[in-house]
Structure 1
Amino acid sequence: MAFEPPERLVRALGETYGDTLAGPWLDRLPELAEDSAARRGLTVDRVQAPGGRSSLVALVRRPDGSPAALKVAPAFARPDLERAALSHWNGWGAAQLLEDEASDDALLVERLHPEVSLRSLPEAKALLEAAGTVRRLWVEPPAGHAFETVADRTERQSVPMRAQQDADLAPLVSAALTARAELTASAPELVLLHGNFRQSKVLSGERAPWLTVGPEPLVGERAYDLARLVRDRVEDLIAAPSGASSARRRVNRLADSLDVDPARLHGWTLFRAVESGLRARAAGRDRDAELLLEFAGWL
């Protein structure tokens, strides 16, 4: 079985971590994946494509014939933190981790249906199911955890934002950074968060109708986790005549359904949209950047 990295993985790792770090690992990936499968006695059905942005995902069968998914990620993407989060959730709202410990950076998890995510549902139904799923993940973090805080992660993300030189974007960037400063000055709660929660991260399963995959776990307030969900299907919002008002209504609707302060959700939505837009711009993904920054401007 050839474990060639999907194009999306190559592009995303290079954008996030730089080619100097990502390139050598990608060169070794076929060998690493083959070794991870062999040491677990797995039979590989296929590599999932387009797959994830931080790991290669192979659909496999365990020695007893039961289906599973094998995720092979570089150590610098912190698969150890994903393992810790999945272990703590123990299948509650998320894919079940199928091994307690591993001698490598791979994760063996419950196989879901990668071709069926919440994005396959009508928007209103998808948001309803997403809200019901993400609330299950918001639990007290384990004692002695190594998860990053929202304040720390967003401080790192703020560094390139402060350095951007486009005068036209300066007011929007300033507003996003001000919102972040005000939000981190007071932390209303400290729960375990998915970190990158959106409709495409919620897949159909056998054990439960919908389960979350691909966390980038951290600890902080629930409003941060919801902020990425607010801009789901941003291309549809931008194309709609009522997109701006729909975006603002979505903030209020999600905040109300999950008992989150709408002002804090608004602030984190603004920060995360601007940060993602600037990152897309720096990576040459001009269309994505345009959509995200226009969306942020509506808020």
Structure 2
Amino acid sequence: MAFEPPRRLVKALGEAAPGGDDWLAKLPEAAERAVALRGSTVERVQVPGGRGSLVILVRLADGTPAVLKLAPDRARPESERAALAHWDGLGAVRLLEPAGTEGVLLLERLHPDVSVRSLPEAKSMLEAAGTLRRLWVEPPSDHVFETVAERTGRQAEAMRAGADAEAVPLVDAALSVRAELLASPSRAHLLHGTFRQSKVLAGERSPWLAVGPDPVVGECAFDLARLVRDRVEDLIASPSGGSTTRRRIKRLAESLDLDQERLRGWTLFRAVESGVRARRVGRPRDAELLLEFAAWL
């Protein structure tokens, strides 16, 4: 079978590595090798798939439905493997192969076309937040995961370098709130790192399970912040988008027993960081939405 990467993946990797690399060129051969090594049968490549990996639906030799996920080093697949192993199926997709070829994950099959976004907005937020809560566990004592301070430090440098005149006030506000939050740290947990509604899929052993973590260790409000802006297009289109966002922050913070101001602060930082990055890689419409959203905070 020819393993042609979905357009979405090609575009996203082009944004992440505009100079190009050889991972995409080697991907068809790597996928063939991963399938053959496990004696599995390919059903299909998941389309549109993710922005950082090729997802292949397979059946193992014993008929078990599974997923093969191939990702480049910059997507930190080995960090994902370590987090999934630590969670061991609690709130997240189960890793079927604790050790394997670098950059290749064998995962339990969920329902790839059914995410929590299929539910009405209020219900989807409730289910997503409940799933996220189960992931917040103590990290392994010898963990090598990136910390929130380290990740946001890298992002802060890129924000300073990439902000145009229009975005500078928001960048200054985001960097200021980051400094305040890190100066008074909250208890650290293992976090999903890139959590949103589309990262929660329907399963068999549990109604909803998280997929695709980019794990990081830090306070829970950082992890919840990305969920606050889910369906941002709808929020921006609504005349009450600003008040709806503030109510969402309040309800999510209360439902998960988090400090509302810390959640607002990390929501601001993450929205501005994403907006500046979107503008830098040539996605002006996304940048406009994200920075307008951030201005409400």
TM range (shorter): over 0.9
Instruction: Find the aligned partners of 1:55 and 1:44 in 2 and give their Cα distance.
Output: 17
Deviation at 1:184, TM superposition (A): 1.2
Partner SS state of residue 93, structure 1:
coil
Residue of structure 1 equivalent to 2:2: 2
Count residues with an aligned counterpart.
297
Opposite residue 86 of structure 1, the aligned amino acid is L
Q: Deviations over 1:241-298 (max 9, x none)?
A: 1101000110111000000100000000000000000111111111111110000001
Code of the aligned partner of 2:18: D
Q: 1:240 aligns with which of 212, 217, 238?
A: 238
The Cα offsets for residues 51-76 of structure 1, whole Å up to 9 and x where unpaired, read as 01111000000000110000011123
| Structure 2 CA distance for aligned equivalents of residues 105 and 164 of structure 1 | 30
**Sequence identity (%):** 68
The equivalent of 1:80 in structure 2 is: 78
Query: Deviations 1:63-115 (Å, cap 9, x if unpaired)?
Result: 00110000011123211110000000000000000012113320000111111
The code of the aligned residue for 2:11 comes to: R
Q: Is the 8 A contact 2:163 2:276 kept in 1?
A: no
Report whether the alignment pairs 1:38 with 2:33: no
Give the AA of the match of 1:36.
A
- Is the alpha carbon distance of 1:165 and 1:268 closer, same or farther for their aligned partners in structure 2, counting shifts above 3 Å? closer
In structure 1, the residue corresponding to 2:166 is in which secondary structure? helix
Q: Which residue of 2 aligns with 1:55?
A: 53
Q: What is residue 70 of structure 1 aligned with on the other side?
A: 68
Q: Does 1:285 align with 2:283?
A: yes
Residue 165 of structure 1 deviates from its aligned partner by 4.9
**Retained in 2: the 8 A contact 1:176–1:270?**
yes
Shift of 1:15: 1.6
Partner of 2:159 in structure 1?
A: 161
Matches within 5 A, 1:134-153: 134-153=132-151
Give runs of aligned pairs for residues 207-226 of structure 1, distance below 5 A. Answer: 207-226=205-224
Which sits farther off after the overlay, 101-110 or 219-228? 101-110
Instruction: Give the Cα–Cα distance (whole angstroms) in 2 for the partners of residues 104 and 220 of structure 1.
Output: 26
1:8 maps to amino acid: R
Residue pairs, 1:11-30, within 5 angstroms: 11-16=11-16, 18-20=17-19, 22-30=20-28
Give how far 1:201 is off: 0.1
Write the mapping of 1:106-255 to structure 2, written as runs, cut at 5 A.
Answer: 106-255=104-253
Deviation by residue 1:192-251 (Cα, 9 ceiling, x = unmatched): 000000000000011110000000001000000000000000000011111010001101
Structure-2-length-normalised TM-score: 0.98
Distance (whole Å) between structure 2 residues aligned to residue 70 and residue 201 of structure 1: 17
Query: In terms of mean alpha carbon deviation, does 69-78 or 225-234 score higher?
Result: 69-78
- The alignment partner of 1:260 has SS state of coil
- For structure 1, the 5+ residue unaligned runs are none
Tell me if the contact between 1:36 and 1:104 (Cα under 8 Å) persists in the aligned partners: no
The Cα offsets for residues 112-152 of structure 1, whole Å up to 9 and x where unpaired, read as 11111011111000000011100000000012111000000
Query: 2:233 is paired with a residue of what secondary structure?
Result: helix
- What are structure 2's unaligned runs of at least 5 residues? none
CA displacement, residues 146-179 of structure 1 (integer Å, 9 cap, x when unaligned) = 1000000000001121123522222111001101
CA contact (8 A) 1:274 1:296 kept: yes
- Given that residues 14 and 23 in structure 1 are in contact (C-alpha distance below 8 angstroms), is that contact kept between their aligned partners in structure 2? no
Cα distance in 1 for residues equivalent to 2:18 and 2:6 = 16
Tell me, in whole angstroms, the C-alpha distance in 2 between the residues paired with 1:198 and 1:27: 30
CA distance in 2, matches of 1:298, 1:168: 16
